Amino acid sequence: MKILLLCNKPPYPASEGGPMAMNSIINGLIEAGHQLKVLAANNEKFNVKESDIPEDYKKKTGIELIDVDLRVRPLKAFANLFTNKSYHVERFISKDFKARLVELLEKEQFDVVQLEMLYMAPYVETIREHSKAMIVLRAHNVEHKIWERIAKETKFFLKRWYINHLAKTLKDYELSALETVDGVAAITRKDAAFFRKYCSKPVIDIPYGVYPEEFTPKYDIESTPKFYHIGSMNWMPNAEGIRWFIEEVLPKTVEKVPGFVYHLAGRNMPEWLKTLKNKHVDVVGEVPDAKAFVTNNDVAIVPLLSGSGIRIKIIESMALGKTVITTRVGAEGILYDEEVNVIIAENIAKMVEAIRAINENPQIAVRIGQAARKLVEENYDNRKIIARLLMFYEQIKPGSKISFL
């Protein structure tokens, strides 16, 4: 099968959630023997030089990067208030990207064109005009829900009003886009259930997958448990959650656990964190080896208040045998059993108590970490996930009698 992936950002390097999710599909499809071509939008926030991409990656993906200017233009953003268009989506419409897409579609025949994230949906019409390929939207999130949650947590009323406007126009676009494709591959069961309510097209859940043998778990805790967070801080829900933890949860935590230290790793640390003077917060920043960082720590604290989709860093921490303390929002999309393979802490008191309990009895973390690893092996092996995706491709073929619930 010949598959074209349209990506809203370069899938290489896989240093944050979106690219990591894209690469799980890329590697899985190639391993399964299919031919892949990647066309990706290159932008100023996640900018990659083609010369920095390894030759073997270029060869197996045929990756091409097209510069797309995603900078926020204040005048355009203001003018958007008087339209029904989604400013989030409009920024991804590029003449250069469209022109190269047309060239590819006229030159090569593809069986499937997969849109990695909603922001590639503006090109559906172009694909229809120049190709007979099936079109699949791989929805990494229910995008508008992220912004609805952010609006709900925003205190300044003018900012909240504007974010609500962005969320509404994004929701209108997102729901209309569902009917333009041939199938929707959501990243979680919860997201898939939501899309089925608004979409007449086939919908399936295709979560993020890993190769468990590439993650060597470390369960033993040598002395006092080390608590950590790893994630890109230019993703608003991460920054929002970390600020809440530091301002609201941390003071209560150190009352119960005086020696507590929260180790923070990830790209694009904001200035307020870089300059933070707090002996209970260790701002590590971007690390050269994420697996090594996680392996050398013990318990992940993921204090998410907003967001949608699946938390890739949670899956990878679980694959490495780590206990994760998170909110229900953070655990959305993961097939967890509370207190068995993850700890859910919905408020300050529960989060503080979970930290205190593990600090006093590290064997809690060992037990939950072992169960977390088992969960990953059973449900998030990329080979199993790709097999489901390929069956889904077969389902949406014209005349197919295959169906999914």
Q: What CATH number does residue 308 fall under? A: 3.40.50.2000
> For residue 109, is it within any domain?
yes
Q: C-alpha distances in angstroms, 307 versus 37, 150, 157, 395? A: 30, 8, 21, 30
**Residue 396 pLDDT > 80:** yes
Is residue 243 domain-shared with residue 185, that is, in the same domain? no
Q: Does residue 401 surpass a pLDDT of 70?
A: no
Range picked from 47-51, 91-95, 236-240, 304-308 for highest mean pLDDT: 91-95
pLDDT score at 301: 98
Check whether residue 276 and residue 391 sit in a common domain. Answer: no
Mean pLDDT of 190-207: 94
Where residue 387 falls among pLDDT bands split at 50, 70, 90?
A: very high
Q: Which residue has the tokens 């619930």?
A: 405
Residue 253 predicted with pLDDT over 70: yes
Residue 281's Cβ-count burial label (10 Å; 0-12, 13-18, 19+) is middle
Residue 169 located in a structural domain = yes
What would the mean pLDDT of 111-116 be, rounded to a whole number?
A: 97
Mean per-residue pLDDT, 19-44: 95
Residue 371 maps to a domain: yes
Structural domain that includes position 223: 213-379
308 pLDDT tier (thresholds 50, 70, 90): low
pLDDT category at 82 given cuts 50, 70, 90 is confident
Asked if residue 94 lies in contact with residue 71, where contact means CB atoms within 8 angstroms, the answer is no
Contact call for residues 37 and 108 (beta carbons, < 8 A): yes
Percentage of the chain modeled with pLDDT above 90? 76
Asked if residue 183 and residue 293 are part of one domain, the reply reads no
Q: Is residue 402 part of a domain?
A: no
For residues 228-242, give the mean pLDDT: 90
295-306 pLDDT per residue, tens:
999 999 999 887
pLDDT of residue 374: 97
Q: Packing angle between helix 312-319 and helix 363-379, nearest 10 degrees?
A: 110
pLDDT at 148: 87
Residue 404 has pLDDT above 60, yes or no: no
Residues 60, 171, single domain; the answer is yes
Question: Do the domain assignments include residue 156?
Answer: yes
Question: Residue 14's pLDDT is what?
Answer: 87
Kindly state the percentage of the chain with pLDDT values over 70. 98
- In the predicted structure, residue 389 carries a pLDDT above the cut 80: yes
Q: How much is the average pLDDT of 280-297?
A: 95
The predicted model gives 52-72 an average pLDDT of: 94
Nearest Cα to Cα of residue 88 among 173, 181, 178, 156: 173
| 9: CB partners within 8 A, 6+ apart | 18, 19, 40, 41, 42, 43, 46
Q: Is residue 400 part of a domain?
A: no
Calpha distance 312→208 (Å, rounded): 7
The total number of structural domains that make up the chain: 2
- pTM summary value: 0.84
pLDDT range class, residue 90, cuts 50, 70, 90: very high
Residues 308 and 222 in one domain: yes
Structure tokens at 206: 């295709």
Q: What is the mean predicted confidence (pLDDT) over 98-107? A: 97
76 shares its domain with 59? yes
Residue 44 — pLDDT band, cuts 50, 70, 90? confident
Work out the pLDDT band at 155, boundaries 50, 70, 90. confident
Residues 151 and 217 in one domain: no
Tens-place pLDDT, residues 114-131: 999 999 999 999 999 999
Q: Are residues 339 and 245 in the same domain?
A: yes
The pLDDT of residue 381 is above 90: yes
Across the chain, mean pLDDT equals: 93
Do 199 and 236 sit in the same domain of this protein? no
Q: Is residue 405 predicted with pLDDT exceeding 80? A: no
Residues 143, 268 within the same domain: no
Examine residue 62 and state whether it is found in any structural domain, yes or no: yes
Q: Is 375 part of a structural domain of the chain?
A: yes
Residues 188, 258, single domain; the answer is no
Average pLDDT for 63-88 = 86
Pair 184, 218 in one domain = no
